[in-house]
Amino acid sequence: MDKNYDEFDKYVMKYDMDEKMIGYKYNHSYRVVHQSEEVCRSINLDTVERDLASLIALLHDIARFKQWTEYKTFDDEDSFDHGDEGAKILFDEGEINNYDLAKKDYEIVKKAIRNHNKYIIESGLNDRELLHAKIIRDADKIDILYAFSTWRLLEVTNDDSKITDEVRKQFFEHKPIDRKIIKTKNDRALAKFSLIFDLNYDYSIRRIYEEKYIDKMYEGMKNKKIFKEYYEEIIKYLKERCKDVRQKI
């Protein structure tokens, strides 16, 4: 993987590393590599699959650097879909040729990156493609929740606006919030909580619960009264899932 890390660093250094958000995405990429390795270890994948998952994690947000530089946003609706654009940069523009990756695995990497940010994984993936799509989605969400819990970003993303009925319904059905139905700032904030409903692996649930990411996010919210019942539902859900994990061991 050392060559791949060097190539990734070389690619990122073309952008302004003094830009705070460029630096954030660079560090995020490496943290997601670490979480990907932990997920792989938890399900006993061999070295070949772990290395492939690590490369996918390293490259999953490669389009973010272009996105921030050109649009000064990470909002795909105001710029481009960064999963699709990442696949384009790597495979249409040939950036993937700089990395140590067998051509037989190109489709796995492409589909994992294209699907990592989608509401649901596209249908028609084979078992190995689906495995890597699930790993990167979990690893990415773990770090997103870590970031929101650590930097208290929700302090500035929620106000007194209501949570809309459709968002509320989706939440209590234990579904991740579809960004297409988000209408208010508090809908958007609640969507961060709902990421846990789309986790695939026991390790991911256990990590988020044990590190108290949801508790820390809630502590950082300005209007706790609006989010209290949602916070309590999330904690209840996490406890039940962790109980299931312990019963499996």
CA 91, distance to chain mean position in Å, is 21
Same domain? For 145 and 207 the reply is no
Examine the fold and report which residue of 134, 151, 168 is the final residue of a domain before the chain moves on.
151
CA angle 202, 157, 141 (to 5 degrees): 20
* pTM reported for the whole predicted model: 0.94
Q: Which of 92-96, 194-198, 217-221 has the lowest mean pLDDT?
A: 217-221
Same domain? For 146 and 229 the reply is no
Same domain? For 174 and 132 the reply is no
pLDDT at 248 exceeding the cut of 60:
no
Same domain? For 111 and 168 the reply is no
Residue 229 has what pLDDT? 96
Mean of pLDDT values over 182-211: 94
Same domain? For 62 and 144 the reply is yes
Mean of pLDDT values over 32-46: 98
Render pLDDT for 14-37 as a digit per residue (tens, 0 to 9). Answer: 999 999 999 999 999 999 999 999
Same domain? For 116 and 4 the reply is yes
Q: What is the 3-state secondary structure (H, E, C) of 152-205?
A: CHHHHCCCCCCCCHHHHHHHHCCCCCCHHHCCCHHHHHHHHHHHHHHCCCHHHH
CB atoms within 10 A of CB 7: 18
Per the structure, the count of domains in the chain is 2
Same domain? For 48 and 120 the reply is yes
Same domain? For 27 and 42 the reply is yes
Same domain? For 236 and 204 the reply is yes
Mean of pLDDT values over 92-116: 98
CA distances from 234 to 41, 192, 214, 248 (A): 26, 11, 8, 21
221: containing domain? 154-249
- The highest-confidence range among 53-57, 146-150, 215-219, 240-244, by mean pLDDT, is 53-57
